[in-house]
Amino acid sequence: MLTQEEDQQLVERVQRGDKRAFDLLVLKYQHKILGLIVRFVHDAQEAQDVAQEAFIKAYRALGNFRGDSAFYTWLYRIAINTAKNHLVARGRRPPDSDVSAEDAEFYDGDHALKDIESPERALLRDEIEATVHRSIQQLPEDLRTALTLREFDGLSYEDIASVMQCPVGTVRSRIFRAREAIDKALQPLLHGT
């Protein structure tokens, strides 16, 4: 994979003392990392602070990066752990409130219900979107993380297993259970039409 090779070259440059190479890695991954962290923190300003902290931790630990996994997998793991530590330090878990930035990201490109919209169809679409969003937020953390890494970030099962430090079979099971929970929450809406 070309991007993995490019990442590895940049990592090696950073390890040799080229700080500009790390800037390129930050530019490449900052939006993905911020999107990942906002799913945990649910506050844009806090998420930016946590993302910055995650990149600082990654920079400091980069000398120990051996390339056993892809750089982005290693970076995602640092970002997830930094977000979790941030929440624990604040004595809280992610709130279940709606976040408009997350809604926009999740539903951008969803054209399934965007044909000719009657008020009833628009209401149903809004209810489905809210139900899916609420269902994702109510999932246990391990299911939510596996699902969001797969569906939002497009990571492979193998990469998710590396990020979450668990077997691929466990990742598949968690994603299946997460999808099953969302499907169950949607059933009353879908069968009522």
Number of separate domains in the chain: 2
Residue 60 sits in a domain whose CATH number is 1.10.1740.10
Q: Which domain holds residue 32?
A: 2-89
Residue 95 domain flag: no
Residue type, 71: F
CB 79 within 8 A of CB 37: yes
Residues 70 and 25 in one domain: yes
- The answer to whether residues 158 and 105 belong to one domain is yes
**What is the predicted pLDDT for the residue at 88?**
84
Q: Is the pTM of this model over 0.85?
A: no
Instruction: Please give the Cα distance from 193 to 185 (Å, whole number).
Output: 15
105 and 180 part of one domain? yes
Tell me: do 83 and 156 sit in the same domain.
Answer: no
Residue 27 sits in the same domain as residue 47 = yes
Helix (H, G, I), strand (E, B) or coil at 68: coil
Identify the three-state secondary structure at position 53. helix
3-state secondary structure of 137: helix
Q: Is the pLDDT of residue 109 over 70?
A: no
Mean pLDDT for 119-134 is: 79
Residue 94 within a domain: no
Do 157 and 81 lie in a common domain? no
123 & 175 share domain: yes
